[in-house]
């Protein structure tokens, strides 16, 4: 099966209202072109430099899809990232949201949609809002959401999470469930300026489970492109 078939199969397999962000790190522009030709409209990249190269190589085709930053964003890369990405999914601090807000103000854009990245697995190697003490995650996330809502040039539109890398399906499931609860809690909080629309969770080996637990945005790479060479 080729890239187009695999994308189409996943598209048919999951509900229509679940968006597929094609995780394209380390893929060639030709591979990305194939998936766009197959109907993909959301592309995720992890590195600003790689996204820059891919945009240049795809030319006008790049403007027909939306781009999601799904890797950790360093503050010194924000200016370069802004013209490349439609949404930034990896906000893990108020400081980062503020830095983006200031730079958007100076750019041509009006408002950049953001997702707060939640790290419940609490693994050292990963980014995301994380809380050691049990029970305080909700207040931390709500506080970041509230403070970010006061900014003019960014808007929180949901949550993103990776999930434990080596967890059992049960661990994964309980992780997704916790993030879904957090998502619903923030939604019911009706914070002015926060629009809880997207719950970005689930990857190649977990998207079905994530959708069962309420995800409406999955980030899929290897199940579409095949395994990475690195
Ligand atoms: C690579 C990546 C994915 C997709 O992972 P696959 O296992 O290849 O589907 C999803 N989210 C993030 C943040 C990634 O870096």
The pLDDT of 28-55, averaged and rounded, is 98
N- to C-terminal Cα separation, the chain: 21
User: Which atom of ligand 1 is the closest one to the Cα of 70?
Assistant: 13
CB-defined site of ligand 1, < 6 Å: 23, 25, 46, 70, 162, 203-204, 219-223
Q: What angle do CA 68, 74, 76 make, to 5 degrees?
A: 115
Each residue's pLDDT tens digit, 73-120: 999 999 999 999 999 999 999 999 999 999 998 887 899 999 999 987
Task: Tell me: pLDDT of 153 over 60.
Answer: yes
Q: Burial level of 65, CB count in 10 A (0-12/13-18/19+)?
A: middle
Strand partners, 156: 114
Q: What's phi and psi for 22, nearest 5 deg?
A: -75, 115
Which residues, other chains included, contact 14 with Cβ-Cβ below 8 Å and sequence gap of 6+? Answer: 20, 207, 208, 211, 218
Residues in the chain: 230
Each residue's pLDDT tens digit, 141-150: 999 999 999 9
- Segments in 150-197 forming alpha helices (H): 169-188
Is the Cβ–Cβ distance between 175 and 167 less than 8 Å? Answer: yes
pTM (whole model) above 0.85: yes
For ligand 1, atom 10, the nearest C-alpha belongs to 219
pLDDT of residue 15: 98
Token digits of residue 155: 């808007």
Token digits of residue 76: 């010194």
Distance 150 CA to ligand 1 centre (A): 31
**Most informative mutation of 161, 215, 219, 224 for ligand 1 (most atoms within 8 A of CB):** 219
How many CB atoms are located within 10 Å of the residue 89 CB? 26
- The upper half-sphere exposure of residue 227, i.e. CA atoms within 13 Å in the direction of its Cβ, equals 2
């Amino acid at each position: 099966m080729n890239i187009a078939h695999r994308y189409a199969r996943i598209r048919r397999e999951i509900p229509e209202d679940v968006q597929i962000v094609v995780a394209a790190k380390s893929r060639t522009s030709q591979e990305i072109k194939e998936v766009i030709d197959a109907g993909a409209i959301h592309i995720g990249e992890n590195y600003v430099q790689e996204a820059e190269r891919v945009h240049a190589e795809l030319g006008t085709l790049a403007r027909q899809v939306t781009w999601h930053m799904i890797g950790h964003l360093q503050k010194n890369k924000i200016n370069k990232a802004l013209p490349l990405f439609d949404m930034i999914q990896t906000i893990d601090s108020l400081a980062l949201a503020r830095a983006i807000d200031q730079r958007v103000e100076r750019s041509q854009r009006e408002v950049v949609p953001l997702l707060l990245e939640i790290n419940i697995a609490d693994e050292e190697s990963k980014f995301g809002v994380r809380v050691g003490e049990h029970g305080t995650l909700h207040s931390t996330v709500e506080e970041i959401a509230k403070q970010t809502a006061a900014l003019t040039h960014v808007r929180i539109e949901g949550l993103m999470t990776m999930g434990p890398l080596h967890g059992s399906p049960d661990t994964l499931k309980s992780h997704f469930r916790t993030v879904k609860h957090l998502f619903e809690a923030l939604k019911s909080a009706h914070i002015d300026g926060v629009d809880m629309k997207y719950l970005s969770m689930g990857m190649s080996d977990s998207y079905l489970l994530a959708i069962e637990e309420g995800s409406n945005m999955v980030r899929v790479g290897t199940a579409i492109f095949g395994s990475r060479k690195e």
